[in-house]
Structure 1
Amino acid sequence: MGYSRRGLIGGASMGGAALITGNALAQSVVGQKMTPGSTSPFGPPAGMALLSRNENPYGPAPSAIKAIYDEAKNGCYYADGGVKLLTEMIAGHYALEPANVIVASGSTEVLCAAALAIPDGKAVLCPDLFWDTTVLYAERKGARVKRVPLGEDMGVDLAAMTAAIGPDVGMIQICNPNNPTGMAVGGEPLRNFIRSVPADIPVLVDEAYNELTSDPAFYSVSDMVNDHPNLIVCRTFSKIYGMAGLRVGYALAHPDTVKTLQGYLMSFGGNTAGLAAAVASFADEDFKAYSKAQVVSAKQIIMSAVESAGLSALPSETNFVFVKVPDADALQAAMKENGVLIRGAYGKWTGWSRVSTGKIEDVGKYARLLPQLV
């Protein structure tokens, strides 16, 4: 792929002197001693394998790191110029107009904006199990949540979702691929579902993991936004780009819908570092291919461990795997005692454990422990 771990580190080293200077300045400002090898407040605890948060530890790309270094001096200025540039780049990539794009502080901000825009007294229609942080946010703001059970295969049941649509529904939200199951629905079933939804009900499709799927075009509905003004498609730089802590995301929608969502955003103009990194790495195909290859390799390691442990797991189109275990919380605790952080139970799904594809060596540690701990 033209990329290797050594190459990535080498590409990032061009900013090494600046990083060293920055560390020295941080020591003088905060008055604390920082020694080589000390734990960073921005990463996992020392000695712990972090496999619980669906991050890509191989990013940001060298191109992104260089851009952050180059543009840091402009951090004194508001970053609206960066928002405009990134908006234009995203629009061009999807063959849309800038008016179809909204850039935000992570896709979470767009998801929360959509939640705030739900009419008073209406409900969010959603699967029973998915990444529902923003739906819970809507619930705290007065919206009701109307959950639809998953199918027997743990997939999103579009037929049941369709049957649940009624005058009480103010928005429909789907995470595709789904989190935490890792399963995806694509092609005509998903497209037909969107076509069947009344035009006055927004359909929010969270495609945070799309670039990591085996067929991104098949699983995406981004090309439908102009023909369906009620459709909102969210994407993020947190996953394949490895920029979770830099907080850049975006949504694609009809221009009228974009205007509505912009009225509910809570940040102003974005941040220079995140935008510079996003602009630099948006079209970095070599890095994206490298990241995806690491995810595929890690999933193979996990699935082999699952088989060795006599367990089963759902088919995953993401950078995590949902494993059927006797007790998810017990496994989480046992893994933590052995230096590996994974997720515990999701509510009533106590027999399912989610593990992320972090660094290959960390995934290997999980794989060695799994047959022992179950």
Structure 2
Amino acid sequence: MLEPLPRQVLATIPAYRPGRPASDESRKLSSNENPFPPLPGVVERAAAELGRMNRYPDPGVTVLGEALAARTGLSPDHFAFGTGSVSVLFALLDAWCGPGDEVVYPWRSFEAYPIAVDLPGATSVRVPLAADHRHDLPAMADAITERTKVVLVCTPNNPTGPVVAAADFDAFMERVPASVLVVVDEAYLEFVRDPAALSGAEALARYANVVVLRTFSKAYGLAGLRVGYSMARPEITEAIRKALPPFGVSDVAQAAALASLDADAELTERVDAIVSERERVLAALRDQGWDVPDSHANFVWLPLGERSTEFAEHVWPLSVRPFPEGVRVTIATPEINDAFLDRAASFAR
């Protein structure tokens, strides 16, 4: 019997796997969520928009675009907005890629990358990370062919944590054809403390083929409202906007993002607290004998390989994120971090 069938590519695409839910949200260390509540003023300004939910949101995200433009020195036509930076990435790859095209990216990296590449029918070219869990940029440059349309650079890299150095990126860009789009994914930008790290904004100013992705989900704590954006040359941004669904970012989310931008002092205080805890957790793990890479995100990485699932079960009811190569653990409150360190110390290695 004939029946409606989806595209065959869907049979090969894994569903996105969220972190394992925990009975107590404070114990959920699997999704890189911010442990703090919304910044001051955010709930009030977001709630004020609920009374007009019978109206469509501003499709151009105009006021937020103007606010970000003022902060960055760019014009509003450099920005495209979506429900998280991942939705902007999906739209970008839809706009640029089709069957026969290739997308180069590091692996392991953000697990949505292969899904976003496969959906438009493009081909993933995964380049293994270097031994120190960083991008192997020379190998990524070697992987570029005449079929390459896009290269993805994740800094800090999710889930391993290291950043891409600015000098290394510049050397990489010398080898990238001007026709290839290079996406710098900066979802964890605010947590970076390495002075040698790549700045997406500076890369955008130097290279016409760079797109920068950012989000309000991590440092700003708006994961539940889904606001992300890209920064790129206006002609690139126009193409991304065409591939995005209309009215994607609600007025509630836009208001919350604007209020978050107004809370700079509180944001800095909270991010500094998370960074301080990250450094404490890294030092404690190393004192226990763990070989863990530097992280400039709001998580740490334990390269456990095939024992990753075993470790995740060992630390339960703390919920961490196992991958085939290791375990990612989100930085939480000091109390929860201490509970994690106690469990990590008792894991037999």
TM-score calculated relative to the size of structure 2: 0.87
Of 253-262 and 264-273, more deviation after overlay is shown by: 264-273
Deviation at 1:77, TM superposition (A): 2.2
CA-CA distance at 1:316 after TM superposition: 0.4
Aligned residue for 2:336? 362
Q: 2:39 maps to what in 1?
A: 61
Name 1:251's counterpart in structure 2: 230
Task: Quote how far apart the aligned CAs of 1:72 are.
Answer: 2.4
- When structure 1 is superposed on structure 2, of 56-65 and 205-214 the one drifting more is 56-65
CA 82–117 in structure 1, closer or farther in 2 if over 3 Å, else same: closer
Matched with 2:49 is 71
* Higher deviation after alignment, 356-365 or 218-227: 218-227
Q: CA deviation at 1:134?
A: 3.3
2:29 and 2:318 in contact (8 A); partners too: yes
Spell out structure 1 runs of 4+ moving beyond 4 A: 215-218
- State which drifts further: 261-270 or 212-221: 212-221
* Identical amino acids, percent of aligned pairs: 31
- Cα deviation for residue 269 of structure 1 reads 4.8
Per-residue deviation, 1:308: 4.2
Q: Does 1:138 align with 2:107?
A: no
Q: In structure 2, how many angstroms separate the alpha carbons of the residues matched to 1:47 and 1:281?
A: 22
Give yes or no for contact 1:210–1:216 (8 Å, CA) kept in 2.
no
Q: CA deviation at 1:203?
A: 0.8
The one-letter code of the counterpart of 2:161 is G
- 2:302 aligns with 323
The equivalent residue for 2:13 is none
Structure 1 residue runs of 5 or longer lacking an equivalent are 1-42
CA–CA distance in structure 2, aligned partners of residues 216 and 104 of structure 1: 30
Could you say which structure has the larger radius of gyration? 1
Say whether residues 1:373 and 2:322 are aligned partners: no
- Which of residues 167, 179, 182 in structure 1 aligns to 2:161? 182
Is 1:173 aligned to residue 147 of structure 2? no
Instruction: Give the Cα separation in 1 of the matches to 2:81 and 2:26.
Output: 34
Letter in 2 for 1:182: G
Q: Deviations over 1:151-197 (max 9, x none)?
A: 22221011111122110211101111101110001222213323432
- Number of equivalent positions: 326
Of the structure 1 ranges 300-309 and 236-245, higher mean CA displacement relative to structure 2 is found in 300-309
Q: Quickly say closer, same or farther: Cα 1:285–1:154, change in 2 above 3 A.
A: same
Determine the C-alpha separation between the residues in 2 that align with 1:107 and 1:53: 15
SS at structure 2 position matched to 1:317: coil
Instruction: Return the letter of the residue paired with 1:261.
Output: I
Most deviating of 294-303 and 85-94 = 294-303
Larger proportion of helix = 1
Change (3 A) 1:302 1:199: same
| Residue 277 of structure 2 is aligned to residue 298 of structure 1 | yes
Q: 1:96 to 1:335 in 2, by over 3 A?
A: same
Specify the code of the residue in structure 1 equivalent to 2:103. Answer: V
Matching residue of 2:89: 111
Q: Does 1:334 align with 2:314?
A: yes
Q: Distance in 2 between matches of 1:257 and 1:216?
A: 29
The match for 2:12 is none
SS in 2 for 1:89: helix
Q: Tell me the distance in 2 between the aligned counterparts of 1:267 and 1:330.
A: 44
CA contact (8 A) 2:59 2:247 kept: no
- Separation of aligned partners in 2, 1:224 and 1:283: 26
Q: Please, what is the CA RMSD of the aligned residues?
A: 2.1
What letter matches 2:131 in structure 1? E
Q: CA deviation at 1:217?
A: 8.8
For residues 283 and 164 of structure 1, what CA distance do their matches in structure 2 show? 43
